[in-house]
Structure 1
Amino acid sequence: MTGASYPVVEVLRTRHTGYLLFTSLLGRLPGAMAALALVQLVRSTSGDFGFAGLITAVYVVAGAVGQPLLGRLIDRLGQIAVLAVSGILSFLAFTGMALTLEPLPGPAVALAAAAGVFTPPLEPALRALWPRLVAPGPQLKAAFSLDAGAQEIIFILGPLLTVAGIAVFGPIGNLLFAGGLGLIGALAFVLNPAPRAASVERRSVATRSGVRSPILVPAIARVAVFTFGIGVPVGALTIVATASEAARSADGLAGWILAVNALGALIGATVVGIRPLGSTPARLLTACGLLLALGYLPLAATASPTWAYVIAAGVSGLMLPPTLGQVFERISQLSPAAALTEANGWVVSAMTLGVGAGTLAAGAVVGSAGTAAVTWVVLGASALTALLALIALRDHERRTASSLAANR
């Protein structure tokens, strides 16, 4: 079998796809850089880690709020104006935050909120374009899996670029560097003909339909809840890795655990890119969610040898891109065409909130009970993911979702 027969290869050979994927990833880099960049900047000024946690949390939560709101604007006004303006506003907020953080911490927090709210919704924008760019079936499945796997590259490169940015530009300049990458990515993305063509068509569709917010559609809301459940063990893993490093007195182990987890996710994305899953997302979502929850369980065996624990971290990452790929494809099936970007924005926000909740809860448990609580953190996170996978897509809701999709 030749390489050209692989769906993922066909996706990358399709006009515009490689460019849009690259520029979208470039524009999303601030999301992977900001947390470490803000902590390092606060550390170089006041040194108040409590304030560092506050301003980082404000940025993350504001971003979760902004994605569906900006997605709704895209569905009404088109991608070009919204992505360009939000990219500029977010960069200006990053700039103001960097310059005011030490002398004016209050305004800096407000600017962190602005930087998050105006984060260009490149992730939902690209996912709204995939059904226009590639053929339905295996190619579309491969495109969504490729997108999910490429997201892992951001979280590998983000911390590395932050370290390099601090070394070259200093803590303040690094925050400007992060914001600048986001602006460049957003502007480069909208220069492509595909977003412009989609913008013209989207405005026409939105004007005719006047649809309500997609999160009010029960089937879409259930997918968003399911996606929140996916994010919980992903967020908890940061605490699990750090606690495992401390318990084993193995400096650098947390980094290896997180890196190998990301490598596992890339492997999972590659496999389903080459061989897309054959069934429909409505049937696969729950199964993928349960397998993802199951994949994290070996991390509960804290007494296992270090090498085995690192391998378990890789196994836990395998199902993330396939599961997210099913989420993206299912949203594209359920959402009205005039609200597709907003629908994807809600899914992005749900994942972000799930990651944040997992990190917060795991940190609270380990902080109060010590590193021995890692086992219970993993079991609890996996159980919640499995529970939401079972609840989110009950049979009668599947029938309702199919009816909604057929009648839109």
Structure 2
Amino acid sequence: MTLTDHPPTAQPRATYRAVLASPHVVRLLVGTLIGRLPNGMAPVAIVLSITSTGGSLAFAGLLSALYSLASALSQPVKGRLMDRYGQTRVSGTAVILNSSSLLLLAEAATAGHAAFATAVVAVAGLCTPPLEAGLRALWPAVLRDPGQRRIALSLDTGTQGLLYIVGPLVVTALSAAHGPGLALVATAVLGLLGTVIVLTAAPSRVWRPAADPGREKDGRLLSPALLMLYVALAGTGCAIGAMNVWSVAMAASHRLELLSGALPAAFSTGSFLGGLLYGRRVWPGSMLAQLRVGAACFLTGWLPLLALPGPPTAIAAVAVPGLFLTVVISCAFLTVDSLAPPSRATEACAWLILSVGVGQAAGTALGGALSTRPLASAALPAAAAAASLTALACARLRLTPAGVAARSPGRHRRPRARPAHR
């Protein structure tokens, strides 16, 4: 039995049509995507808002980085709170504070108060609603069949990269047409709208983590197996961050500004297509085997960059590792779902999100340091992917199905029609 297997029961067919036709699935996916669109909008909107009122680009970049860093570092705390108090109270409070802070930022930027603007951005980042971790914790309650959960995760993960393409484009268009102030307002409104769509759905309203006393006597979440998995996914994030900087270096080297956006767009498109292909059929092997194969293919996909290809070849080449990114992320979340204590499901997902984010920041920093060395810059994504695969190989004994008990299918409460059943 693999980590994600359940006792044999009659299960609905695992197809895209069956998943999308299941109650609440489309609403949760659409709401989460709308609510997470500000993740790609806010950093750009902050830069445009500060610079349009006379602030320096250096200060604007610092505030943009502060927003992203505060959002990432606060994920486990928000996940832990959500596991204790439910999604409505935590995400609802967070989105109100986040949206209010973004609206205040327009006033702070106009007034030229640097300290106030910094405080507002910090609050906005800390209070980004944890929709991604919350959705990953909801899937076992919404879709009882492991095959259907895999498809839902593929859709969710595959579309994530597109948010960071669409978001900046929306902000740029709004700023050009109506000014940066409207871009900040749109960012705040979209975050609020998406969160409301999710939180008013029945699965989110009634969701509670299930207790599992047999696995939580010591209250530990970060087991050695989970720690190794998080380290591995930090390597995956590092490859993504390094790729983004390499794209800018490629654009400068070839004097073609379009490359700085075209290369990440090709990577994200590959991720989206890879998610669709991965969810389309049942693949052989356990979830852990699929994770290792996906990580190996992710590494292999970066190797053509070592030949320092020209722009057309580079755009095609970066789509290849993108094809396997969704496989790695989806399998990682399903593995976390099996390893984590049931009453700390959201926090466990949040730590995985943080691991990828920290790795991405490290990859960005390393990529910047190596940007003047073309071969080293092109090799960094492959080196990070190799580190990720090595971590998974070292964790193999701890992550085998024999070493971890399969989770009970009754982990989450199903949504009920009557409040008395909550």
TM-score, normalised to structure 1, is 0.90
In the aligned structure 2, how far is the partner of 1:211 from the partner of 1:148?
A: 33
Within 5 Å, give how 1:157-172 maps onto structure 2. Answer: 157-172=166-181
Which of 218, 221, 242 aligns to 2:224? It is: 218
Residue deviations 1:148-198 (CA, integer Å, cap 9, x gap): 112122122111211122134411221121122111111121111111121
Within 5 Å, give how 1:379-398 maps onto structure 2. Answer: 379-392=379-392, 393-398=394-399
Contact 2:221/2:340 (CA < 8 Å) preserved in 1? no
Q: Which SS does the other structure have where 1:396 is aligned?
A: coil
Which residue is 2:145 aligned to? 136
Which residue is 2:64 aligned to? 56
Which of 297, 305, 311 aligns to 2:310? It is: 305
Which residue is 2:290 aligned to? 284
Which residue is 1:181 aligned to? 190
Q: Is 2:321 aligned against 1:316?
A: yes
Which residue is 1:75 aligned to? 83
Q: Which SS does the other structure have where 2:129 is aligned?
A: coil
Contact 2:75/2:351 (CA < 8 Å) preserved in 1? yes
Residue deviations 1:241-289 (CA, integer Å, cap 9, x gap): 1111111122312222222211111110110111243322222223222
Query: Which segment drifts farther, 174-183 or 322-331?
Result: 174-183
In the aligned structure 1, how far is the partner of 2:344 from the partner of 2:13?
A: 33
Which residue is 1:340 aligned to? 345
Residue deviations 1:356-407 (CA, integer Å, cap 9, x gap): 21112111221xxx2xx23212323322222232224523322598336579
Compared CA separation, residues 314 and 400, structure 1 to 2 (3 A): closer
Residue deviations 1:112-165 (CA, integer Å, cap 9, x gap): 111111110000100001111113332121111111112122122111211122
Which residue is 1:119 aligned to? 128
Compared CA separation, residues 374 and 110, structure 1 to 2 (3 A): farther
In the aligned structure 2, how far is the partner of 1:146 from the partner of 1:365?
A: 34
Q: Identity over the aligned pairs, expressed in percent? A: 31
Q: How far 1:301 moved relative to its partner? A: 2.3
Which residue is 2:39 aligned to? 31
Structure 2, unaligned runs of 5 or more: 1-11, 412-422
Compared CA separation, residues 211 and 90, structure 1 to 2 (3 A): farther
Tell me the number of residue pairs that the alignment of Structure 1 and Structure 2 aligns. Answer: 396
Amino acid across the alignment from 2:30: F
In the aligned structure 2, how far is the partner of 1:290 from the partner of 1:88?
A: 42
Compared CA separation, residues 390 and 251, structure 1 to 2 (3 A): closer
Within 5 Å, give how 1:12-23 maps onto structure 2. Answer: 12-23=20-31
Which of 239, 259, 264 aligns to 2:245? It is: 239
Amino acid across the alignment from 2:45: A
In the aligned structure 2, how far is the partner of 1:52 from the partner of 1:365?
A: 24
TM-score, normalised to structure 2, is 0.87
Amino acid across the alignment from 1:315: V
Contact 2:339/2:404 (CA < 8 Å) preserved in 1? no
Which residue is 2:375 aligned to? 375
In the aligned structure 2, how far is the partner of 1:213 from the partner of 1:362?
A: 38
Amino acid across the alignment from 1:217: S
Which residue is 2:276 aligned to? 270
In the aligned structure 1, how far is the partner of 2:47 from the partner of 2:304?
A: 31
Compared CA separation, residues 389 and 213, structure 1 to 2 (3 A): farther
Contact 2:50/2:56 (CA < 8 Å) preserved in 1? yes
Q: How far 1:210 moved relative to its partner? A: 6.8
Which residue is 2:54 aligned to? 46
In the aligned structure 1, how far is the partner of 2:97 from the partner of 2:219?
A: 25
Root-mean-square deviation (CA, aligned residues, Å) is 2.4
Contact 1:211/1:339 (CA < 8 Å) preserved in 2? no
In the aligned structure 2, how far is the partner of 1:234 from the partner of 1:386?
A: 13
In the aligned structure 1, how far is the partner of 2:338 from the partner of 2:178?
A: 45
Q: Which SS does the other structure have where 1:22 is aligned?
A: helix
Q: Is 2:231 aligned against 1:230?
A: no
Amino acid across the alignment from 1:243: A
Contact 1:232/1:357 (CA < 8 Å) preserved in 2? yes
Which residue is 2:17 aligned to? 9
Q: Which SS does the other structure have where 1:19 is aligned?
A: helix
